[in-house]
Chains A and B, each alone.
Chain A
């Protein structure tokens, strides 16, 4: 009976197998009819981006999606390698003058632009002249200010002179080089067609630029080597769709990387057979900014009370996952972080005491001193992930000490207008990101261009001015540590945390190294196994 039963089961499973095969044949037939089969041999690295790259012209590549793509298409004279050392890109060598006021680069010979034209020192000089042209309007213009003179000394040799002695000046030449022959003059507009049809010397060239996606193919005449033949970047604004796509990465299709995996999705991939979580640490930190033009927030006691009343560890763990709670304007990996300054511990009672001693009495659940009520308008950018849940946490914690905050959620453009242009906010939550090391002068100097909180402290200004003129790195580092301690005491912002970020990468991809800011700096070494 058992044997017979097995036979019956076998025959029924065979029958269902036949049915399944018929169904599959039908599916494949439909695919074939629509001409939809994908070429099996194409080795395409696919990844989604939250935003469209706004411009592929390096000067105007200001959003992270553009920065990553530009890294694949263009090259710089030098770049910072995995070990943090300077390595030659379009330059094969460099000599710094003994007075540290000039540098001469020897350029790589035989390099071609994607349109086949040769790369020369004229292109390097043109890039600097274009960047310094007053008609070329872009935000990172300050990066080129230190160059006072460019001398083309030969087809493959170029010298730069500086306004003052600079230590390790080669580190400042990581900007991308653009081709002179692609432009009619040094005044370059944001609207230039080059931003959609870029010509670089990088390992990948643009093969298709459409509304939602950019396809790159390997540049056959590239001077070096790369292992992956093509890249497809698709604008996929929905983060959950990106995570779904990453889950399909184990087989032939799906995406091979998601640049940033949100903390709530990390458990999905922690023990995954197909995806590995690659940690990387960006030079960026979160802050809660106080508008110092608000009389209540200009009072240091109020700022300190708010700082004691907010439990950063709890907010971080509940909303963003892992990271380091900070006491100043540097990340813990920064050479300027002052470890002697401990982050303020959460202390609700102390917060209440500070407000009490400052004369703010509790009336109907809100603290007030005369007519001055501790009620604030908290402006939040809808695009900053986790903002809503973070705000709710902060609101609940501040309510305990009698401080009321009312949210105003606005879209990105409106946020910029309210906070950075119109000064129309009391509190806000945001993140500062830096390329390599933090330059905080523009944030905290009373004349700093990014001092949108209107912070004014004569001692801080004096220290920042002194540090700006320092040529000795050790001295500068000590000054930054002193600044850290001063800012922790005076609290221009409430410094929150820096996050441990994770990228989701398919296990098909080998030799992965993620450069925290540019992401794809070492992409040439990445391999994609079938």
Chain B
């Protein structure tokens, strides 16, 4: 128990240092990006004195290092500053947290569903046979397109289907139709989730990974011993698959979060991806840094949780310094 606690403490401290380093890099990158919030909002020919006044009002008159120092100290106290352009005057976290929550629900949920489906697929199609190779190839073909292609095609297909079957026939149209003008319900999130599952080769990657883990497990001596005793192996297999599943979840989450940005843009969802894109476009650096830190913190947190659970389930993980 003490060993687990120490390992956890080490990971938390390491995670904090990583977060600080990441925030420094993000802050410096955003500040070093050409153009600033003033250039983004001020129309052509804004007099230099007006720009200077705006710089002071937006806190851009400090140099990047001094600016980061002030930002880091304030954010340690939970103050991530105010948005400059995206939602002028609004606290960064008041905008970022709800948007981030929606994105997390979307990305985390899609990845979870994807993992369950991949596990089922891997269990039902152990590989080797011609049928399973054919199925694997079809799955690869269907799910390997980039997320923006799938998102656009999916939105178009759903709109056309609703138009022909519901709207044109005079039935009461669903409130989410047509995509993307109305996003007042959960349905566009559902469509976006399906898009994430079916794009960027995520599903086939997980199927391949889980299949190889499952095969290795099936061939292991302790499963052979259980089989020799005539007992059922399903429970043992599932219990021993928890660690690979957790690893897969923790390692694929950043990939899905990357894909979410463009999917949210197509489905006009008001998640963190959309806010991040708009804020970057307008050089709203407190918002960009605040959101990027949230993304980084999430990835670190998921990895720590995954390691703790793995350590709890399998003491060898802690012994090996996991």
B53-84: CB near A (< 8 Å → 1, else 0) gives 11001000000000000000000000000100
A171 nearest CB across to chain B (Å): 22
B214-230: CB near A (< 8 Å → 1, else 0) gives 00000000000000000
Interface of B is mostly: loop
**A212 interface hit (Cβ, 8 Å):** yes
Q: Which residues of A contact B57 (CB under 8 A)?
A: 137, 189-191
Stretch at the interface among B9-17, B31-39, B231-239: B31-39
Q: Which residues of A contact B42 (CB under 8 A)?
A: 62, 139, 416
A244-284: CB near B (< 8 Å → 1, else 0) gives 11001001111100000000000000000000000000000
Q: Which residues of B contact A415 (CB under 8 A)?
A: 35
**A388 interface hit (Cβ, 8 Å):** no
Q: Which residues of A contact B39 (CB under 8 A)?
A: 413-414, 416-417, 420-421
**B47 interface hit (Cβ, 8 Å):** yes
**B137 interface hit (Cβ, 8 Å):** no
Pairwise interchain contact B268-A137, C-beta atoms closer than 8 A: no
Stretch at the interface among B192-200, B241-249, B274-282, B298-306: B274-282
Q: Which residues of B contact A139 (CB under 8 A)?
A: 42-43, 46, 50
Pairwise interchain contact B181-A234, C-beta atoms closer than 8 A: yes
| Cβ-closest chain B residue relative to A450 | B45
**A54 interface hit (Cβ, 8 Å):** yes
**A38 interface hit (Cβ, 8 Å):** yes
Q: Which residues of B contact A252 (CB under 8 A)?
A: 167, 173
CA distance A430 to B43 in the complex (A): 13
Given A244-B159, A410-B34: A212 in contact with B89 (beta carbons within 8 A): no
Pairwise interchain contact A413-B167, C-beta atoms closer than 8 A: no
B86 nearest CB across to chain A (Å): 8
Pairwise interchain contact B44-A411, C-beta atoms closer than 8 A: no
Q: How many residues of B contact A (CB 8 A)?
A: 62
B233-266: CB near A (< 8 Å → 1, else 0) gives 0000000000000000000000000000000011
**B169 interface hit (Cβ, 8 Å):** yes
Q: Which of B21-40 contact A (CB under 8 A)?
A: 34-37, 39-40
Pairwise interchain contact A254-B53, C-beta atoms closer than 8 A: no
For the side of the interface on A, what is the size category? 35 or more
Given A211-B274, A248-B163, A452-B45: A38 in contact with B173 (beta carbons within 8 A): yes
**B127 interface hit (Cβ, 8 Å):** no
Given A36-B175, A195-B89, A413-B283: A255 in contact with B181 (beta carbons within 8 A): yes
Pairwise interchain contact A27-B40, C-beta atoms closer than 8 A: no
**B176 interface hit (Cβ, 8 Å):** yes
Q: Which of A397-416 contact B (CB under 8 A)?
A: 410-416
**A52 interface hit (Cβ, 8 Å):** yes
Q: Which residues of A contact B167 (CB under 8 A)?
A: 248, 251-253
Pairwise interchain contact B174-A36, C-beta atoms closer than 8 A: yes
- List 29 contacting pairs A-B, 8 Å CB cutoff, sorted by A: A24-B169, A36-B174, A38-B177, A46-B182, A48-B181, A62-B41, A139-B42, A139-B46, A189-B89, A190-B57, A191-B89, A196-B90, A211-B87, A211-B274, A212-B183, A212-B269, A234-B182, A236-B268, A238-B265, A238-B266, A245-B180, A251-B163, A251-B167, A253-B178, A411-B281, A413-B37, A413-B281, A418-B34, A442-B45
The 8 closest A-B pairs by CB, nearest first: A191-B89, A413-B35, A450-B45, A211-B270, A416-B39, A413-B40, A36-B174, A414-B35
